[in-house]
Amino acid sequence: MEHAHLRLDRPSAPTAKLEAFLSAHTSETPFVAIDLDIVAERYHALAEALPQADVFYAVKANPARPILDLLVAAGSKFDVASRHEVQMVLDAGAEPSRISFGNTIKKARDIAWAYEQGVRLFAFDAEEELSKLTEHAPGATVFCRVLCDGSGADWPLSRKFGCEPEEAARLVVLAARAGHPVGVSFHVGSQQRDLTAWDRALAEVAYVADALHDGGHRLAVINVGGGFPGRYQEAMPPIAAYGQAISQALADRMPTYVDNPVLVIAEPGRYLVADAGVLQTEVVLVSRKSELDERRWVYLDCGKFGGLAETMDEAIRYRMRTPHDGGIDGPVTLAGPTCDSADVLYEKTDYRLPLALTSGDRVELLSCGAYTTTYSAVGFNGFAPLREHFV
Amino acid sequence: MEHAHLRLDRPSAPTAKLEAFLSAHTSETPFVAIDLDIVAERYHALAEALPQADVFYAVKANPARPILDLLVAAGSKFDVASRHEVQMVLDAGAEPSRISFGNTIKKARDIAWAYEQGVRLFAFDAEEELSKLTEHAPGATVFCRVLCDGSGADWPLSRKFGCEPEEAARLVVLAARAGHPVGVSFHVGSQQRDLTAWDRALAEVAYVADALHDGGHRLAVINVGGGFPGRYQEAMPPIAAYGQAISQALADRMPTYVDNPVLVIAEPGRYLVADAGVLQTEVVLVSRKSELDERRWVYLDCGKFGGLAETMDEAIRYRMRTPHDGGIDGPVTLAGPTCDSADVLYEKTDYRLPLALTSGDRVELLSCGAYTTTYSAVGFNGFAPLREHFV
């Protein structure tokens, strides 16, 4: 559901600093160049838009050390997916109290290790996981993830994370009885364009909170997840509109018995880093499958296994620039450089690129700072992982 | 189209050597363990089944040095996808004359570099690529890839590689005029179960050969590609049946004017290495989304971004073993350990696993020697790339 009356954020061009780096053409392609100033600006914009929440950066979006350093200094907290991500955040100088182990799928020994390091905030969505937490992280704050429908989101949400609200209600009571301060979390789906999604999810949270209240326990955490957008092909609502919608939903849905202070958590990943990055790639080949085909195939030196995994099902549609923009264009299918026939980026989405485009030209994909470098394959077809530069 | 009258190969169990390594449980999961004896056995089996062809191992299937060393010693030739794969094969001691640069998408500077190393066999499927070859690899043998329909194959074949036969006919004549010995190639799709696919493709090759003949040129290479199977859930024809079908199709379809000796190339990847490997993984969590759900979710420590990329669209369906096999089982959805909701392995395929399965159990995926280790992400969610051991 789109909000036609909402002012939409129009995509902006990369910063002057980024443009200078990109036009130098001194770095071998493919690479992502990141402007750290944009990361800082986004962190503060979200903190301002949602003042009642603590911002936990979803490290998986881009765990590069310069980004972690910047966010540690800015006062951010961190949502981590694995033992190694805990270590990276600690190495960047954050206290363990600023870490949430947000993956609902954790080995018992990784929970124990994180707890030893001082981590005291953990996600779960199943009884088996709660048992591991009670055994290996006694007394830690735990939050149960409820399933969300995810409609309105661009990146597919499966039923992989979370449990049904009835099951969550049962589990949070078990957790409270086992001595954990407890909370509830959800995720409305990545690149969420429907601002009412949070209201629907918070209605589920209220249902779970009721069960907790009925059992005589207190709700300690509400985790409103991520879903804050990067700027791809489609215009999206501005961050202030997200803040307003979530604040309003919290006010509307939270029962009056919910004690303050409740820790409200927001977990932006994409929003903080996507627009900070530009991916520069080289055209390796432009071809037609038959002489009269109108549609050309454009093969880039970065593909689905080289960092552009989010083109899966053409879910994320990056904006592109070429040296010939403004010239006559025509329809294209875009693909990566590997011998894998699944390494096609865009086939159904209507991309058009200049007819003058040829091998050796540099093409830029905008808003590539999130979910690119670490998705990159370790060496598929002998191609090196995606490089990253900071400006 | 299946051949009901054909004897099908039933999957075999891992070798005693592999079993001993796996049961030791001394290596941290996830990992792939490879029995090199199986690779050697498969190389010889294919060479015997298709005696008129030179075997070019598709390095991308698994470029590990012990595999390359073994195949160099066995006399194999090599199909490579990139400059780095050329280097790996040369490092393993193969002469450059044993290398085919089979990727139709190559940078001009990579062609020039490979030519300098002595590589004299290159693929192409477009006029722009042919121009690069004529400029940077003068006089080298080049083969043009024609599009194939790919029906009967388990791994999706897009239109990414190859051109229409009419276009191929035009391009091979151009290539011959530019001084290249020329050939034709095709690929019937990975894990091809329909043995008539080669006959259909070779009819296209004959069409292109006719154009070449009409222009007064000789056909120097016929590349029958890959498609030879690994042993996953479905039984497949034995390799001898592939050899017979291809030999018969060559005899039926090649015009009598085709001079001998024509270099016949086969490019097995999966067939040589898939069944040589077992992937051992640990169960991280078993859960139900609601208390009464019959279907459980089983989360493994290896997922779609950790080496099991070929589960994309559930195309490749691995056989699995657990420590509780034989006990009562129930339906499961299988997923990987990352916080990515797209990291689900099997949701639609009817997998059933024992009810006794729990966190910490080791689960084994069979025939994981191909297209796993190098597909693995460099560090997505902080998880290390898939390890590999050789026995």
Q: So where are chain B's domains?
A: 36-268, 275-390
The pTM of this model reads 0.95
pLDDT at residue B256, rounded to an integer: 79
Which of A254, A253, A347, A262 lies closest to A298 in space, CA to CA? Answer: A347
Region B71-82: mean pLDDT is: 98
CB contact under 8 Å between A105 and B160, yes or no, is no
Give per-residue pLDDT as tens, B289-301: 998 899 999 999 9
pLDDT at residue A289, rounded to an integer: 94
CB of B51 within 8 Å of a chain A CB? The answer is no
pLDDT at residue B1, rounded to an integer: 38
The 3-class SS string of chain B reads CCCCCCCCECCCCCCHHHHHHHHHCCCCCCEEEECHHHHHHHHHHHHHHCCCEEEEEEHHHCCCHHHHHHHHHHCCEEEECCHHHHHHHHHCCCCHHHEEECCCCCCHHHHHHHHHHCCCEEEECCHHHHHHHHHHCCCCEEEEEECCCCCCECCCCCCCCCECHHHHHHHHHHHHHCCCCEEEECCCCCCECCCCHHHHHHHHHHHHHHHHHHCCCCEEEEECCCCCCCCCCCCECCHHHHHHHHHHHHHHHCCCCCCCCCEEEECCCHHHHHHHEEEEEEEEEEECCCCCCCCEEEEECCCCCCCCHHHHHHCCCCCEECCCCCCCEEEEEEECCCCCCCCEEEEEEEEEEECCCCCCCEEEEECCCCCCCCCCECCHHHCCCCEEEEC
The confidence band for B13, taking pLDDT boundaries of 50, 70 and 90, is confident
Classify residue A111 by its DSSP letter.
H
Report yes or no: A61 and A273 within 8 Å, Cβ to Cβ: yes
The confidence band for A26, taking pLDDT boundaries of 50, 70 and 90, is confident
How many CB atoms are located within 10 Å of the residue A316 CB?
Answer: 23
The three-state secondary structure class of A211 is: helix
- CB-side exposure of A328: number of CA atoms within 13 Å? 1
- C-alpha A168/C-alpha A180 separation (Å) is 15
Higher pLDDT, residue B4 or A5: A5
Give percent of chain A with pLDDT exceeding 90: 88
The confidence band for A149, taking pLDDT boundaries of 50, 70 and 90, is confident
User: Which site among A302, A339, A355, A358 would you substitute to test the B interface, given the most B Cβ atoms closer than 10 Å to its Cβ?
Assistant: A339
Domain at B36-268, CATH class: alpha beta
Q: In the CATH scheme, what architecture does the domain B275-390 have? A: Beta Barrel (2.40)
Put simply, the chain B residues between 23 and 42 with a CB less than 8 A from any chain A CB are none
CB contact under 8 Å between B128 and A343, yes or no, is no
Give per-residue pLDDT as tens, A240-296: 999 999 999 999 998 877 766 799 999 999 999 999 999 999 999 999 999 889 999
CB contact under 8 Å between B378 and A383, yes or no, is no
Among candidates B160, B343, B374 on the partner chain, residue whose Cβ is nearest the Cβ of A377? B374
CB of B295 within 8 Å of a chain A CB? The answer is no
Q: What is the dihedral of CA A79, A85, A91, A93, to 10 degrees?
A: 0
Higher pLDDT, residue A27 or B229: B229
CB of A287 within 8 Å of a chain B CB? The answer is yes
Q: What was the ipTM of the complex prediction? A: 0.95
CB contact under 8 Å between B344 and A158, yes or no, is yes
User: Which site among B340, B345, B361 would you substitute to test the A interface, given the most A Cβ atoms closer than 10 Å to its Cβ?
Assistant: B340
Pure H helices in chain A: 16-24, 36-49, 65-74, 83-91, 108-117, 127-136, 165-177, 197-214, 239-253, 270-273
Report yes or no: B187 and B160 within 8 Å, Cβ to Cβ: no
- Residue B339 a catalytic site member: yes
The confidence band for A1, taking pLDDT boundaries of 50, 70 and 90, is very low
Put simply, the chain A residues between 135 and 174 with a CB less than 8 A from any chain B CB are 147, 155-164, 166-167, 170
Judge whether residue B76 has pLDDT over 70: yes
Judge whether residue A3 has pLDDT over 70: no
Region B152-172: mean pLDDT is: 87
Judge whether residue B330 has pLDDT over 60: yes
Region A342-371: mean pLDDT is: 97
Strands, E, within chain A: which ranges?
31-34, 53-58, 77-80, 99-101, 121-124, 141-145, 182-185, 219-223, 263-266, 277-287, 296-300, 320-321, 329-335, 344-354, 362-366, 387-390
User: Which site among A340, A343, A346, A361 would you substitute to test the B interface, given the most B Cβ atoms closer than 10 Å to its Cβ?
Assistant: A340
